[in-house]
Structure 1
C-alpha cells in the first residue's frame, strides 16, 4: 500500500503544507507589514507604498500558483 500517514500520501501532506503553511506565513508577513506601517506612522500613502513594495514577492508567489492551477500544471 505504500507509505501513508493517516491515509494520506507524502505528496498529499506536502501539498497541504505548502498550500496552508505558506498561506499562513503570507498572512503573518502582511501583519508584520501592517504593524511596521502603524508603528512608523506612515500615513495612508506610506502604508500603501509599504504594502505594495514589501508584498510584491508574495503576489508573485500567489500568481504563480494561480497560473499553474489555470493551466492544469
Structure 2
C-alpha cells in the first residue's frame, strides 16, 4: 500500500466522495425534517411551500455548484 492512500483511494478522492454523497444524504435528511415540520404544524399547502422555499434555499446553491461543475467538466 502506498503512503497517502486508503484501500487504493487518495485523500482527495475520499474527500470528494464524502462531500458529494455525505452532504447529499444530509440534504435529504434536512428535507425530511422540513416536511415533518410542515406536517406537524399543519401548515397547509401554501405554508408547506413557503417552508420548503425558505428553509431549503441554501441547499439549492450547493446543488447548483455541483451542476455547474459537472457541465463545465471541472
What is the TM-score normalised by the length of structure 2? 0.92
Give the unaligned 5+ runs of structure 2: none
Task: Give the 5 Å matches for 1:33-72.
Answer: 33-72=34-73
Residue deviations 1:5-49, cap 9 Å, x none? 011100100000001000000001001100110111000111011
What is the TM-score normalised by the length of structure 1? 0.94
Q: Which ranges of 4 or more aligned residues in structure 1 deviate by more than 6 Å? A: none
- Cα RMSD of the aligned pairs, angstroms, is 0.9
Number of residue pairs matched?
A: 73
C-alpha deviation, 1:68, in angstroms? 1.2
